[in-house]
Amino acid sequence: MNGHELTEARSSPLARAWALVREALGRSTRDFTEGDIGHSIVVLAIPMVMEMSMESLFAVVDVFFVARLGADAVATVGLTESMLAIVYSVAVALCIGATATVSRRIGEKDPEGAAQAAAQVILLGIIVSAVFGVVGAMNARRLLALMGASPSILGYNARFTMVMLGGNACIMLLFLQNAIFRGTGDATVAMRVLWLANGINLVLDPCFIFGLGPFPELGVVGASVATTTGRSTAVLIQLWVLLSGGGRIHIQRRHLRIIPSVMWNMCRLSGTGLLQILLQTTSWIGLVRVISMFGSAAMAGYTIGIRTILFALLPSWGLGNAAATMVGQALGAGKPERAERAVWTAGFYNVVFLGCVGVLFVTFAPSIVAIYTSDPVIAGHAINCLRIVASGYVFYAYGMVLTQSFNGAGDTWTPTWINFCCFWLWEIPLAWLLALKLGMGPRGVYIAITVAFSTVAVVSAILFRRGHWKLKRV
C-alpha cells in the first residue's frame, strides 16, 4: 500500500471521504496509475467537476443579467454562443490531443515529453485563435444575419458578438491549459483559475451591463467585456504556473518552438478530434437554425433552457475527463484492465449524479425558468426544453464518459464516426421532421436532442466493450 491507501484504510468511512475531498482540493500528489480506482477517480473528478461547473457558469451568469434587457439581448447571447461553438470545438479538439498525450507521457514517467506536448498545443492554440479573432470580429454582423438574427439584433447588440469572437484567444487558451493540468493529474489548478475568472465575471457583469458606479452602461456588450476580462486573467495565471514550474510539469524556453514529431502527433490527434467535435457542435447550429424559424421568443426560451441544461452537463464532463486521464495514464503504465475498470466506475458515478439532476429539472422546471424570465411565452419554451432534454440525462451520463475515454486512449476515430451517424444522419433530420413536417414546433427539436444523445450512449457502450481502444498508440 502507498501512503494514501494506508491512511484511507485506517480511517472511518466519513473520515476517508473527507480525506479524499481535502486531497482533491489541495493539489494531490497521488500516483493515479496505482491504488484504489474509485478513490483515484474521486480525487480527479472533484476538481474537474467543479472546473466544468465554473466554465458553464459563464453563460448562465451572462444570461441571468442579460435577460433583464429583453428577448433580443438574450437571443444575441444565444446566437453568439452558437457561433462560439466552433471555437469551443477547436479548443476541445486540441484538448483531446493534449490530454491523451500528456497523460500518456505522465503514465510513462516522462515529464519532459509531457512538457513538450503541452508547449505544442499552446502554440497551436495561439495560431488558431488569432485567425478566428480577425475573421470573426470583422464579420460579426454577417454571421449573425446568416444565423437568422432579427434587424434589431444586427444593430448595437452585434458588438457583443464582435467582442466575444475577437477575444476568443482567452477561451481557447483557458481550455487548452486546463487540459494540460488535467492530463498531469493536477486538476486543482484548473479549478482554482476558473473560480477567479467567474468571480471577476460575476462582479463586472452587472457593472458593465447596467453602468453601476464609475462603469459605463454598455448593455449586452458589457457582458462580453466582463466575461473576456475574467477569462483573460485566468489565462495569465495558468501561464505563470506552467512557465514557473509550479505544477507537475515545467514548460521551459526550449519547449516554446515547433518540434516537428511532437507537433505532428498533436495535429494528428487533434485533427480527428476537431472533426469529431465539429460534427457535434455544428449540429447544434443546425438545431438553432430550426428553432429561429419560430421567432425570438422561441429562440430566447431555447437559450435559457439549453444554458441551464449545460450547467449540469458540463460538470458531468468532469467525470468524463477524470476517466480520460485515468485511461491515458493507465495505458501509459501498461495497465489496460485498470483503464477499463476506471471507465465503468466513472460511468456509474455519472449516472447517479445526472439521474438526480434530471429528476430535479423535470420536477422544478417552472421554478428554475422563473429565475431568468417572467415572460410567459419565453418561459413556456424554456420549460419544455428543460423537461424534455433532461429526461434523457441517465443515458447522457454513460455516453459522455465512454466517448471521453476513447479520446483519452487516443482512439479519436471511434467517437468521430459515432457523432457523424448520431447527430448528422439522425438528430438533425429527426428535428426537422418533428418540428416542421409533423408540426410539433420547438418541442420536436427538444425530442430529437434527447433521442440522439441516448443513441450515442448505446452505440458507445457496444463499441467500448469490443476493446479495440486498448491497442492505440499515442
For 227-249, what is each residue's pLDDT tens digit? 999 999 999 999 999 998 877 88
Q: pLDDT 10s digit of each residue in the chain, 474 long?
A: 455 554 545 557 788 778 888 887 877 778 888 888 888 888 888 888 777 777 767 777 888 888 888 888 888 888 888 788 788 878 888 888 888 889 999 888 888 888 988 999 899 889 889 999 999 889 988 888 887 777 878 877 788 889 999 999 999 999 899 889 888 888 888 888 888 999 999 999 999 999 998 999 998 899 999 999 999 999 999 999 999 887 788 898 888 888 888 888 888 888 888 888 778 877 888 888 888 888 888 988 888 888 788 777 777 777 888 899 999 999 998 899 999 999 999 999 999 989 999 999 999 999 999 988 888 999 999 999 999 999 888 888 899 899 999 999 989 899 999 999 999 999 999 999 999 989 898 999 999 999 999 999 999 999 999 988 888 777
Residue 24 lies in a domain: no
Residue 15 lies in a domain: no
Q: Which residues contact 170 (CB under 8 A, 6 or more apart)?
A: 228, 231, 232, 234, 235
Residue 244 lies in a domain: yes
Residue 70 lies in a domain: yes
Residue 60 lies in a domain: yes
pLDDT value at residue 95: 86
Phi, psi of 449 (to 5 degrees): -60, -45
For 13-58, what is each residue's pLDDT tens digit? 788 778 888 887 877 778 888 888 888 888 888 888 777 777 767 7
Q: Which residues contact 131 (CB under 8 A, 6 or more apart)?
A: none
The tally of domains found in the chain comes to: 1
Residue 143 lies in a domain: yes
Taking each helix axis as running N to C, give the angle between helix 260-292 and helix 71-107, from 0 to 180 degrees, rounded to the nearest 10: 150
Residue range of the domain that includes 323: 42-469
Residue 71 lies in a domain: yes
CA distance 83 to 391: 26
Residue 10 lies in a domain: no
Phi, psi of 57 (to 5 degrees): -65, -25
